[in-house]
Structure 1
Amino acid sequence: MKLFIAEKPSMARELAKCLPQPQRQEKGFIRTGGGIVTWAYGHMLQQAEPQDYNRQYKQWKDADLPIIPEHWKLLVSPNSREQFDVICRLIGDADSIVHAGDPDREGQLLIDEILDYVGNTKRVERILLNALDEKSIGEALHDLRDNGDFSHLKESALARSRADWLIGMNLSRAYTLAARRQGHRVVFPIGRVKTPTLALVVRRQREIDNFKPVTYYVVKAQFNHAKGVITAQWQPGDTQAGLDSEGRCIDKKKAEEIVERLRAQPDGTIAEGKKTKKKEAQRLPLSLSSLQVLAGKRYGYSPQQVLDAAQQLYERKLTTYPRSDCEYLPLNQRKDVPAILANLGRLSDKTLSQWAGRADGSIKSRAWNDGKITAHHAIIPTTVPCPYDKLTAVQRNIYFLIAQAYMAQFYPVHEYIQNRIVIAAAGEQFVAHGKTVVVLGWKELYQSDGDDDDEKGELPPVRKGDGVQFRRGKVEEKATKAPPRFTSSTLLQAMKEIYKYVKDDSLKKKLKEVQGIGTEATRATIIGELIERKFLVEEGKKKYLKPTDMAYLLVDSLPDELLYPDETAVWEERLYQMSLGKDSLADFLSAQELFLRKLIAAARNNDGTPQPKEGRVCPQCGGAMVRRHGKYGDFWGCTNYPKCRHTERIDAPPASAAGDGESYVCPRCKEGIFVRRSGPYGPFWACSKEGCRTTCADVDGVPSIYAASSEK
């Protein structure tokens, strides 16, 4: 008997339909003439908690860290016990097994870990289902692979799972305990991906809060040429007076002088006229991340909304596997091109049907590349006709984007001529850029997006040495803008393009090829968890992400190794190499253990004290002061809130610490430090340690108990 184990019930049902003589479903499986099909419910085995290894770990103690299992344990999820028993019984009865997990590293691990758990020794084959329509499943059934070919994919997923456990279980405890020693009643959920993602938002918000716009001036001039009018912009020289470090003119008088000189000396010449023929290849089809980013920008959908809709389309057999990180297509898919384009041409949506009618299926774009395909390919429509009018609004929009990106592959390459004209006049240079479209090509499908480049409009044909005459000019006042706030979609894009945000610039080139941090399936979940746990809140119609006080407290309490994505991005690269068989699970976990011990030691040394990012120290308790945004604007707030409620105006100079830098230790508890307070009868001194209520009078700015003593 051949046993198929699918990742989920919906996949099992579709698979069973494509096997000979499908019979009635029984409890936990479907019997067919081609074998028995059963299913899992996602990860039915879960990582054991620390207390499952040793009861003493149930209580969080610094002395127990790091907790590193010698032998990793998996426990059957209570909600899956009944179905798990069915699978185990069927494995025992089977002659051979077909692994039908999703075609990615998590899907590989999900079924493999069940087989490993029961100690299976029977032959296992692998079926790769990138789509659930009958044609795709039929082809996959005739192309079964040896499951052993995917062992490296399983190792990669296992390494990711164990690394997440080590970081989450150990560092959450280490830094929570450190914060509690400082009096913070908090729990810090630290994650290998989650924490640097949160830190991205906090750093961006601080950039915005501290941003000071720079006013600068741009000179634009129109020149008459025999073949037409040229609008050009002044290009100041490096030694030009009145420029800032970025080469912008910040002296309005200097800019106005340029216009006056042009009026006085209107004659100029063409110093350079350059035309460059360029081509822009078709946009690649969509991966899940690129679909989520595009849908977020165009429709305002959250990443989770997009994933849910893409999953629904997949389960209705209308599109291929949604959790794909690939933007390329295998050559064997080209045989389906006529059928897919024909289906799209019959859609009720006039835009899609018209595009399909003009598509040329013989065009072979750069997307068709077997060398870029792993276990899955880009998300595309299937050969199943789409009942477009019966889809929900979200499903229709997601299907539209997927179909649009697919059809773009069958339009010509976009061709244009890029023009650059340099005009010399009044001793200065003025530059004009233009673009002449030769072949619109695939951009016909994206004209409404307004994302075409800056160099629009045609320029008249010119030759070097041609004369021009100044016509009119103006000085435009502009201001630099703060970086944009993150939304869920743009944060997801930042997670994918993480090389742009690493602290070590030397890593950027290396990490550009990495698929970011997190996976296609988990990024949306991570952002959702940060919002659900109140570390981030969404504001306004565009749902901009804003850090909460708890987010600032967490970020200010952690070292850079956890806040910047450098380490995590390097790990992702290693996980990818492991999936190719070029790295080992043992070496990876060994490096994780060293990293873990280093950061636990750091947590013990800094004792959880937030570092003052702006260099301000609270004069009441000695905690870090951070910039906050409140109902009436920005202010400085103590990170020990709510224990300490000290605040200061943004324009106030940093307040002096108690005793102008002197530390007066409490003589009763020997742990707290005296801080100077104001009361109804004047200043007094009080111990900063929670639970200690020692106070004394103020004598000329010194605690009375120390007024005649040198002890501090």
Structure 2
Amino acid sequence: MRLYIAEKPSMAAEIAKCLPGPVSRKDGYINTGGGIITWGYGHILRQAEPDEYDAKYGKWRAEDLPIIPRSWKLLVADSCKKQFEIIKSLIDQASEIVHAGDPDREGQLLIDEVLDYVNNQKPVHRILLNALDEQSIKKAINSLRDNRDFYNLKQSALARSRADWLIGMNLSRAYTLAAQQAGHRTTLPVGRVKTPTLALVVRREREIEGFKPADYFTLKADFVHNDIVFTAYWKPQANQPGLDTEGRLADKAIARALLATLQAATEPATVSLCETTEKKDPQRLPLALSTLQVMAGKKFGYDPQLVLDTAQKLYEKKLTTYPRSDCEFLPESQQEDAGPILKNLSGLAQTELAGWAGKAEPLTKSRAWNDKKITAHHAIIPTVERCNFAALSEPERNIYFLIAQAYLAQFYPVHVFDQTRAELDYACERFTASGRVIRELGWKELYGTEAEDKKEEDSGALPAMVKGDQPLFVKASADKKSTKPPARFTAATLLAAMKEIHKYVKNPELKKQLKDVAGIGTEATRATIIKELIERGFLREETKKKYLKPTEAAYLLVDILPEEITYPDFTALWEDILHQMAAGNASLDSFLGQQARFASSLCTKAKQAAIPLKGDYPCPRCRKGVLQSRTGKHGKFWGCSRYPACRASYDDANDKPALPPVKEQGQG
């Protein structure tokens, strides 16, 4: 008997529809002529809490840290006990098993860990369901792989899960205890990804608070050649006085003097360089989840969690492929579906998609079709299922539109333009001008100004010029501008920062190394991390644009933690190792050993952390804690927040500690 184990009931139901009949639904599974399908509810097994390893860990104590399990323990989640027993019984009866978890790292682990937990010895196949339409499922059923091919992916997921446990369990306890000893009545959750993400927002807010605008001037001049007026921008020489640290002209008097010199000059300008290059801009790649989340945030103001939830609904409606994808490429074999998908999109009347689909060329092969870039999943695209666009909710219509738009772009030509760059000398000063002429609009027809990356200096078309030509000077001007503070993060731009984390890495050598890393967190977890930071009161959203601002608790947490956990350097490096592990190029045991040593070193630092005291009555005895009101067997009294390290206690006197006289206090 073949047993399919799906990640969730909805996926099991779709698989059942594609297996031969008869089909009958039972308690916790579905019987079909092609096998039995059962399901989990995400992770059926959970990691044991510290006190489930040893009861003494039920009380948080600094002397017990770090807690490093010698052997890792999983327990059946209370809400899944009945379903677990059903799955276990079916595994016992099966002759072969098909692992039908989601096609990602986490999906691989949550079925594998159940099989390992029950010590399964039956052969296991793997089905990769990137879409839930009938054609895709039947194709996947006929293309089963050996589950052992995904062993490294499971190791990577185990490494992530256990590393998060080591950092979260140990450092949350260590720094919460340290803060409480300084009088802060709070719990400080520390996370391997969550904390450096929060620190990005705290540092950005401090940049904004400390920002002082500075004026600078942009000099430009209009010239005319062959009856065409064009604008060129002044380029300062290496020894030019009056420049700021960014090379901008900041001295108003020098700007005025330059303008006067330019206006007074009488000789024509001379072209010292003029070159035109044909450039090609390839089609924008189809969408991974994070790309979709950032685009939807910009275009519709959607937060990342809404985008993920909506993409999941479209997937379950069989309209789009697997949403939690970190891949922007497509398998070459899937191009054969282009015809039916384009035909479906051309039938979406009253939408721009219909017009674009009608002009798309299904035989066009963009760089997106690349088997070497595909792992367990591919980019998010429309399926061959017909879409009833009018029946979708507004968010579903908008997200489907973005997914379909990016897919359609693959069937348009590349964008081709001529880029011209010119340099002119005038009044002993150098000016530069650039311009472009579009030769073929190509895929940018679908995006218009959204896809434009024109710079301020880009003047459109320049007149035909060659070296030695002498355009005539028309006028010069200086635009006064002010430097602007960095923009506050929104949920969408914070998610983009998590994906492009190398930009925020402190170590310059590591910054280069991590440029190609897929950021911190995963496509499936980034939105959840941001949502949790808001829900737990570390970030708040403000104004209609929902800018993220840190709360007092966020400042406290980031300030008391060492840089090793607040900067993304180590976390990004660990993500790189996890990707290497998924490719079979890193060891689980070696990685966890590194994590254990890291957690241990930071627990030691927590005991030495300098944390500002919070309370009205600093402890007169140790001077490192504050007196807090407590109730004992003889009534109310005041004790030191550092108890038992400091056992100072004082009677209560009208809701205040009865402190000793100043002289005695000095002696204490």
Shorter-chain TM-score above 0.5: yes
Structure 1: gaps spanning 5 or more residues: 611-622, 624-639, 646-664, 676-686, 698-702
Aligned partners of 2:221 and 2:473 also within 8 Å: yes
Amino acid at match of 2:347: R
| Matched position secondary structure for 2:348 | coil
Deviates more, 1:349-358 or 1:328-337: 349-358
Aligned partners of 2:152 and 2:581 also within 8 Å: yes
Q: Indicate how the Cα distance of structure 1 residues 467 and 295 shifts in structure 2: closer, same or farther if over 3 A, else same.
A: same
The residue number in structure 2 matching 1:46 is 46
| Matched position secondary structure for 2:608 | helix
Deviation of 1:257 (Å)? 1.7
CA deviations over 1:159-188 (Å, ceiling 9, x no partner):
111110111111100111111111111111
CA deviations over 1:481-513 (Å, ceiling 9, x no partner):
111110000000110111111111101122112
Aligned partners of 1:348 and 1:389 also within 8 Å: no
Cα distance in 1 for partners of 2:449, 2:389 equals 21
Deviation of 1:644 (Å)? 5.7
Aligned partners of 1:326 and 1:376 also within 8 Å: yes
Deviation of 1:56 (Å)? 0.8
Q: Indicate how the Cα distance of structure 1 residues 277 and 170 shifts in structure 2: closer, same or farther if over 3 A, else same.
A: same
The residue number in structure 1 matching 2:399 is 398
The residue number in structure 2 matching 1:10 is 10
Deviation of 1:50 (Å)? 0.6
Aligned partners of 1:14 and 1:132 also within 8 Å: yes
Q: Please show how residues 26-425 of structure 1 align to structure 2 within 5 Å.
A: 26-266=26-266, 267-425=268-426
The residue number in structure 1 matching 2:632 is none
Cα distance in 2 for partners of 1:170, 1:409 equals 48
Amino acid at match of 2:258: I
CA deviations over 1:415-439 (Å, ceiling 9, x no partner):
1111112121111111111111111
CA deviations over 1:1-27 (Å, ceiling 9, x no partner):
111000011110110010001412111
Aligned partners of 1:672 and 1:688 also within 8 Å: no
Amino acid at match of 2:161: S
- Percent of counterpart pairs with the same letter? 57
Q: Please show how residues 535-546 of structure 1 align to structure 2 within 5 Å.
A: 535-546=538-549
| Matched position secondary structure for 2:447 | helix
Aligned partners of 2:181 and 2:625 also within 8 Å: no
Cα distance in 1 for partners of 2:490, 2:624 equals 42
Structure 2: gaps spanning 5 or more residues: 628-638, 643-648, 651-656
Q: Indicate how the Cα distance of structure 1 residues 187 and 672 shifts in structure 2: closer, same or farther if over 3 A, else same.
A: closer
The residue number in structure 2 matching 1:651 is none
Amino acid at match of 1:296: G
Amino acid at match of 1:406: Y
The answer on 1:501 being equivalent to 2:504 is yes
Deviation of 1:458 (Å)? 0.8
Cα distance in 1 for partners of 2:625, 2:546 equals 43
Q: Please show how residues 511-526 of structure 1 align to structure 2 within 5 Å.
A: 511-526=514-529
Aligned partners of 2:6 and 2:101 also within 8 Å: yes
Q: Please show how residues 466-505 of structure 1 align to structure 2 within 5 Å.
A: 466-505=469-508
Point out which structure has higher relative CO (alpha carbons under 8 A, 6+ apart): 2
Aligned partners of 1:238 and 1:247 also within 8 Å: no
Aligned partners of 2:538 and 2:551 also within 8 Å: yes
Cα distance in 2 for partners of 1:509, 1:435 equals 32
Deviates more, 1:258-267 or 1:312-321: 258-267
Deviation of 1:696 (Å)? 8.2
The residue number in structure 2 matching 1:589 is 592
Cα distance in 1 for partners of 2:404, 2:57 equals 52
The residue number in structure 1 matching 2:534 is 531
Cα distance in 1 for partners of 2:368, 2:622 equals 69
| Matched position secondary structure for 1:467 | coil
Question: TM-score, with normalisation over the residues of structure 2?
Answer: 0.93
Count of residues paired in the alignment: 642
Deviation of 1:705 (Å)? 6.5
Cα distance in 2 for partners of 1:603, 1:138 equals 55
Aligned partners of 2:182 and 2:624 also within 8 Å: no
Deviation of 1:349 (Å)? 3.7
CA deviations over 1:434-458 (Å, ceiling 9, x no partner):
1111111111111042643223511
Q: Indicate how the Cα distance of structure 1 residues 672 and 589 shifts in structure 2: closer, same or farther if over 3 A, else same.
A: closer
Amino acid at match of 2:534: I
The residue number in structure 2 matching 1:617 is none
Deviation of 1:688 (Å)? 10
Aligned partners of 2:153 and 2:583 also within 8 Å: yes
Q: Please show how residues 643-654 of structure 1 align to structure 2 within 5 Å.
A: 643=615
Deviation of 1:694 (Å)? 6.9
Deviation of 1:249 (Å)? 1.0
Q: Indicate how the Cα distance of structure 1 residues 339 and 674 shifts in structure 2: closer, same or farther if over 3 A, else same.
A: closer
Amino acid at match of 1:193: V
Amino acid at match of 2:530: I
Aligned partners of 2:616 and 2:626 also within 8 Å: no
The residue number in structure 1 matching 2:604 is 601
Amino acid at match of 1:465: G
Q: Indicate how the Cα distance of structure 1 residues 672 and 195 shifts in structure 2: closer, same or farther if over 3 A, else same.
A: closer
Amino acid at match of 2:404: A
Aligned partners of 1:671 and 1:689 also within 8 Å: no
The answer on 1:669 being equivalent to 2:621 is yes
Cα distance in 1 for partners of 2:545, 2:199 equals 21
Amino acid at match of 1:548: T
Deviation of 1:673 (Å)? 9.1
Cα distance in 1 for partners of 2:25, 2:129 equals 21
The answer on 1:551 being equivalent to 2:551 is no
Aligned partners of 2:230 and 2:459 also within 8 Å: no
Q: Indicate how the Cα distance of structure 1 residues 688 and 66 shifts in structure 2: closer, same or farther if over 3 A, else same.
A: closer
Cα distance in 1 for partners of 2:157, 2:508 equals 28
Q: Indicate how the Cα distance of structure 1 residues 674 and 349 shifts in structure 2: closer, same or farther if over 3 A, else same.
A: closer
Q: Indicate how the Cα distance of structure 1 residues 237 and 347 shifts in structure 2: closer, same or farther if over 3 A, else same.
A: same
Cα distance in 1 for partners of 2:344, 2:272 equals 55
Cα distance in 2 for partners of 1:350, 1:202 equals 42
Cα distance in 2 for partners of 1:689, 1:159 equals 37
Q: Indicate how the Cα distance of structure 1 residues 670 and 359 shifts in structure 2: closer, same or farther if over 3 A, else same.
A: closer
- Root-mean-square deviation (CA, aligned residues, Å) is 2.0
Aligned partners of 2:181 and 2:641 also within 8 Å: no
Question: TM-score, with normalisation over the residues of structure 1?
Answer: 0.87
Amino acid at match of 1:424: D
Deviation of 1:348 (Å)? 2.2
Cα distance in 1 for partners of 2:43, 2:535 equals 22
The residue number in structure 2 matching 1:633 is none
Amino acid at match of 1:150: F
The residue number in structure 2 matching 1:618 is none
Q: Indicate how the Cα distance of structure 1 residues 260 and 520 shifts in structure 2: closer, same or farther if over 3 A, else same.
A: same
| Matched position secondary structure for 2:42 | coil
The residue number in structure 1 matching 2:645 is none
CA deviations over 1:372-403 (Å, ceiling 9, x no partner):
00000000000011111100000000000000
| Matched position secondary structure for 1:478 | strand
